[in-house]
Copies of this chain bind each other. A is one copy, B any other.
């Protein structure tokens, strides 16, 4: 029989494993405050709440532990980790080192995907207009991811993606209060413009401005929260510039 081409959409092999679903569930729980940083939890009870066995939950938490979102304590339980000012400064040092050149490279990338970039930027503006912070965070992440994708280095993209994970805990909870969503988005605009007009150095510079601004703010907020007169700016100066 000739293998005639059938016009059928193939089954989406999208079946997310229980482990992956558990990862998302934990992330959501952290965002919504169901899981509080510092508190001790157990795989046992978490698995029960999720309605699955301990195995996939444990696997999920181990993967989250790998990226520093949670930490296991032997025979005690696990905790959600709130990144302190040191961690945040370190994270932004990495982001600056990787995302700034990536923005420049994205400006030189093929024009084919530029439309997607424009769309992502517009969608971000929509989130601003709707004043939906959760949506904003999501689309902000997508925009940054898109720029990294344009730059063409998957490893960089994946690395940054993991870091952003840790940030959202702080970002969503506190620090963004000092800036309006409109203010943050205003910082991306020049990045997007520069990329669209093929201006590599301009895109890199704009990205640097944006990341420095965001990073400093988050680090200061984290320092204040930890009290003890932690000096975020000193940490910043030691690792950046």
Determine whether the beta carbon of B98 is less than 8 Å from that of A155: no
Copies in the complex: 2
User: What is the bound-complex CA distance between A153 and B235, given in angstroms?
Assistant: 10
Number of chain A interface residues as a range: 20 to 34
Chain A interface SS verdict (over half): helix
The residue on B at minimum CB distance from A86 is B154
- Indicate if the CB atoms of A105 and B62 lie closer than 8 Å: no
A66-B66, A93-B155 provided; 7 other pairs, C-beta below 8 A? A90-B155, A94-B155, A94-B156, A97-B97, A97-B98, A97-B101, A151-B239
Show 20 residue pairs from A and B whose CB-CB distance is below 8 angstroms, ordered by the A residue.
A59-B59, A62-B62, A62-B63, A63-B66, A87-B155, A90-B154, A90-B155, A90-B156, A91-B155, A93-B153, A93-B155, A94-B98, A94-B153, A94-B155, A94-B159, A97-B97, A97-B101, A151-B239, A152-B238, A153-B239
